[in-house]
Structure 1
Amino acid sequence: MQAAPAGPLPLSADAPFARLWLGFLTGRVMVALALLVLQGAGQLINQAAAPSVLAVCVAYLVATVVLRVLSRKAPPSPSAGPQWLPSIGVDLAAITALQLLHAGTMNYTPLFGLPILIAAVMGTLTLALGTTAAVTLLLLGWAWWVGQYSTGDEGQRYLQSALTGTGYFIVSYLVHQLATRLAREQEVAQQSQIAARVQTQVSALVIQNLTDGVLVVDETDVVRIANPAGLQLLGGVALTELPFALTSTAPWHPLVILARRTFRHEQPQTADVDLLREGQSPTGLHVRTWLTSTRNAALQTHSERLCVMFLHDLREMEARLRTEKLAAMGRMSAAVAHEIRNPLAAIVQANALLEEDLHEPAQKRLAHMVQQNADRLARIAEEVLDIARVQHQISHAPASTVVLDETVAQIWNDWQAQDPARRRAVVSLDTGATQVEFDAEHLRRVLVNLLDNALRYMGPEPDSLSVTTRNTPAGQVSLQVWSDGAPMDKSVERHLFEPFFSSESRSSGLGLYICRELCQRHGASISYQRLNRPTTRGDIGGNAFTVGFRRTTRPADNATLFDTIVV
């Protein structure tokens, strides 16, 4: 039950408070109906006509029914005011009129308890005490009225009215305090319920979007809750019907053993397990488990023990460690390259001066070898330093425009000419003379990098590689490089465009990172999708890298190139 607090309540009261208000209104209707029935029966039995009393009962019934029908679900403001006249005011007036007009021994004084209860429960303390004071004054006035037209002990009548009023004051105060406490507890309960609901939603959202798998297993080896990552690690098949038993599939047996060990020892467990599937490579998992409660705590709280399992893909963990190592090596390499440049410049200069005094062919060949290797070391040092300067260089590169199809065709021809027998593709250029905002040399680096990556993984068929440009009706211009290579591992796909991340041990992992930086410099985007494309062999799935350009209508011009970034 919800009661009114000491302060004003908004009209949007909660459901229990609204039901209590409607209950009071219904009770008033029932009281009015009972009064009318009793008055009618009394007049029929006693054969004494009292039309004024009957009229008051009828009027009171009509007023209560009208208020019950027209009243909103929310009660009036609890503060004292005219909004209480249709309810408390009508009650006081009707009961007083019945008490004055009734000629028999019937006493209507107990009915004053109804408006007092309404004021104490639904209103403020001021309204409750004010209503009680009005009832007390009416009782004292009734005692004076009776004394004017009858004989008897007036002091006793006044004392009776005073005692009744005092009792009403005590009841009014206690009921209001009880209602206020119940309202406060109801408010705290509602806040706790809202907080629990929000916490549940947040927990569910976090679990759903965790990259690590989460399983909640009970003592019968049944999975109650599982997030998408956990289902993926269990076998890559979406198990939509929860719960399901871990014992239903043989490869999950190591997880069953670990869950049972957790329940038995009542301690967190950590282990590396392999899920062995027939015809597939083993899936290595790092598993950590926790119990929601111990056996004794579960018995005391009458709750259920659950085992929460966190599944981490060992391949991704190893790739993350390798990425951190490569990043550290990259920083160290940049520092080493910076220190090499100065002595290397001295060697080149000294070799050039020495070569001027050499005349024998053998000595000239040796000097030439020194020059070639020194130049090679200088290029390597510059390449490493270029990576450290890539952000500065890209941010200071001037804006320029290119005709997309013409530029892509030139880059493709240059790249294919290096190995025509192997570098074959289906080239479809459909943007015509559309210009895009991009530097020509930057576009060359992006496209060559994507082509080199595709060449490394594509099949031997003539249509294993495709280069496509497209202009959508919405004006979106894009370049796509597609190859029929094998699907990427999810742990690799998530980190494709991060620096120093690669699925190959001999790769620096900088190519796609620089492609992304170059695209962002020119307001373009680059993304990866696994797409099916029609080929002569049918629809074949492959890896597609798509560059979305920002279209421009400016004339193409020659851009100033910044220092070379070797990818």
Structure 2
Amino acid sequence: MPVRTLLSPESRATLWRSLQTLTVTRIVIALVLLLYLGVSINGGAGRLDAVNTQACLFYLAAALVFAVLATWWRRRFALQLGGQVALDLAVISLLYLDAGGMRSGLAILYLFPLAGTAILAPLSLALFASAMATLFLLLEATWQVFMLERQPPLMQAGLYGAAFFACALLVNRLAARLIKQEELAAQRGADLRVQQVINGIVMADVGDGILVAGDDSTVFTGNPAARRMLGLEGEAAGFRLGEAPGLEPLAQAFASWLRAPVDGAAFVTVKPYQQETGALRGRRDGPVHLKLRFARVDTGGVALGRSVVFMQDVSAIENQAQQLKLASMGRLTASIAHEVRNPLSAIGHATALLAEDLHGPAEVRLLKIVGDNVARVNRMVEDILQLSRKVQPNGEPVQLGAFLAELKAEFCETYGLAQEVLYIGDPGASAVRFDPLHLHEVLLNLLGNAVRYASRRPASIRVFPAHDAAGRIELHVQDDGPGITPEVRAHLFEPFYTTSSKGTGLGLYLARELCLNNDAQLDYEYRFDAIDGTGGNDGADGVDGVDGAEASGRFVISFAQPAA
């Protein structure tokens, strides 16, 4: 039938399964008829005669043939259905006549093929089959009236006919609605499969990492970019972020967002970590700095607790920005050495001579302004020239204990600070391979930035060692001033970027370059540290979870490896 050609393959498969069910039901009815006509209610010989026996056996054999056809030859659906319905009507009519007409009670059997037709065929064919069964009952009753001069129950034949039509109409409408719902479900399923394929292609090719995690930090899925960023190639889903030591910063940032969802981004640094088996996991090329964004999955009231974590590797972006600036700066280095330093020296010398003759307050203030700006430009020139000097670092190990103690005394004296303002954690016997002059310059740069924002209360500036998940030594520099915002953090180590009117924007960049020159890494990280009893953040002792912890930023120097 033409209407059936418009159905989807899923709906057509459902119709064939329904036709198979109809053939199985026909076999059962044939067996029941043999049993029913062969048993007498009064203990007699029953109603099974030669006609009934041959009709029931033929009906059973035909039902078996139709069952085999519907199973193994799925073609000509309309022809198979029409042949089965015609067989049902013919056999039931023959048994109906042989059993005595309306008084036999076999008219109820017409409902079986009529209901099947209403389910599997259009309404017109279902009504046609109902009309044929009704006309047969009425004609049989009329024959008895005029030819056999009997008084059959005409009213009962009419009621059967009305029931046939009502059954066909009701069942056909219900079946049509079910088929429509199945068509809609099949279409939605096809759209969903297409969308899943599209999502898979997008997630596989997108450069940003994407993780789907539950409220307990269980990772359900992730795209290849996320696995590359976190060093999880080959790792099966279903693990928790907090179970991997190197992924604790990510787990802590996610848990913090779950407690207080915000639209802003978070920054974490994921470093290689050592498993219990001794294998090193994570990015083999070193730490990766990630910009995180979180989004809650709206499940429409279904309590699944899913969130999406978007990860962007900002390390490559930062390096690219630095390289672009350095490419321009490198072309200017040679000319700056000769064209800027000599005039600066002349201006500085002239300012010093003028200071000997001018003693008025206004003149002194103006000369001080000139001298300060000359010193600032000269410092910028020195920093630029230093960038081009790739001095080989000293390979001798540095004992952190003695080095930090000496640095503390020098720093407090230079800035006129009380000794208790700068807290130095106990490094024990830790030693690192770092050129002492380079490490001295890096730490003075970081401490100089810290003293500008710290409250200068006891332990307001803190320098303490720690160990990362891979067992490497870290040195944390932290103050109690306002933290660096994620917006500023994105440009923090770019050359010539500064938020201070007195800065050159090269200090942190030089500090990072010196660390890289010594096979170390300098970064600004947001850590979750337990709150100690003094009211400060005990940065040396990290916590496994985030309950009772607060996020704090600090500069972290990650040394390449512990010194032998």
TM-score, normalization by structure 1: 0.50
Q: Could you tell me how far 1:313 is from its partner in structure 2?
A: 1.4
Distance in 2 (CA, whole Å) between partners of 1:74 and 1:9 is 20
Match of 2:289 in 1: 284
Q: Choose the corresponding residue for 1:212, options 199, 208, 213.
A: 208
The answer as to 2:264 corresponding to 1:259 is: no
Structure 2: which amino acid aligns with 1:87?
Q
Mapping of residues 229-268 of structure 1, within 5 Å: 229-234=225-230, 236-268=231-263
Q: Could you tell me how far 1:87 is from its partner in structure 2?
A: 0.5
Q: Mark the runs of 5 or more structure 1 residues left unpaired by the alignment.
A: 330-504, 506-567
Mapping of residues 74-223 of structure 1, within 5 Å: 83-103=80-100, 105-148=103-146, 150-153=148-151, 157-223=153-219
Could you tell me the percent identity over the aligned residues? 26
1:91–1:115 CA contact under 8 A, matched in 2: yes
* Partner SS for 2:262: coil
* Partner SS for 2:220: strand
Q: Render the CA deviation track for 1:208-262: whole Å, top value 9, x for unaligned.
A: 222211122222122221222212211x352422222221233322211221122
Counting matched residue pairs gives 318
Distance in 2 (CA, whole Å) between partners of 1:325 and 1:74 is 74
Distance in 2 (CA, whole Å) between partners of 1:328 and 1:19 is 74
> Cα distance 1:211–1:37, how it changes in 2: closer, same or farther (>3 A)?
same
Distance in 1 (CA, whole Å) between partners of 2:327 and 2:72 is 66
Match of 2:57 in 1: 58
* Partner SS for 2:289: strand
Match of 1:316 in 2: 316
The answer as to 2:243 corresponding to 1:226 is: no
Q: Could you tell me how far 1:315 is from its partner in structure 2?
A: 2.6
Distance in 2 (CA, whole Å) between partners of 1:68 and 1:112 is 20
**CA RMSD, Structure 1 to Structure 2 (Å):** 3.5
Q: Could you tell me how far 1:163 is from its partner in structure 2?
A: 2.5
Q: Render the CA deviation track for 1:108-164: whole Å, top value 9, x for unaligned.
A: 11111111112111001110011011011101111012224554546xx33332222
Structure 2: which amino acid aligns with 1:19?
R
Structure 1: which amino acid aligns with 2:238?
P
Q: Mark the runs of 5 or more structure 2 residues left unpaired by the alignment.
A: 274-283, 330-494, 496-564
1:132–1:172 CA contact under 8 A, matched in 2: yes
Distance in 2 (CA, whole Å) between partners of 1:135 and 1:76 is 27
> Cα distance 1:318–1:215, how it changes in 2: closer, same or farther (>3 A)?
same
1:262–1:307 CA contact under 8 A, matched in 2: no
Distance in 2 (CA, whole Å) between partners of 1:323 and 1:137 is 93
Distance in 1 (CA, whole Å) between partners of 2:143 and 2:212 is 77
Q: Could you tell me how far 1:274 is from its partner in structure 2?
A: 2.0
Match of 2:507 in 1: none
Structure 1: which amino acid aligns with 2:70?
S
* Partner SS for 1:241: coil
* Partner SS for 2:265: strand
Distance in 2 (CA, whole Å) between partners of 1:28 and 1:317 is 73
* Partner SS for 1:244: coil
Distance in 2 (CA, whole Å) between partners of 1:188 and 1:199 is 16
Structure 2: which amino acid aligns with 1:69?
V
* Partner SS for 2:167: helix
> Cα distance 1:9–1:61, how it changes in 2: closer, same or farther (>3 A)?
farther
1:213–1:312 CA contact under 8 A, matched in 2: yes
> Cα distance 1:9–1:38, how it changes in 2: closer, same or farther (>3 A)?
farther
> Cα distance 1:59–1:280, how it changes in 2: closer, same or farther (>3 A)?
closer
Q: Could you tell me how far 1:272 is from its partner in structure 2?
A: 2.2
Structure 2: which amino acid aligns with 1:163?
L
1:262–1:290 CA contact under 8 A, matched in 2: no
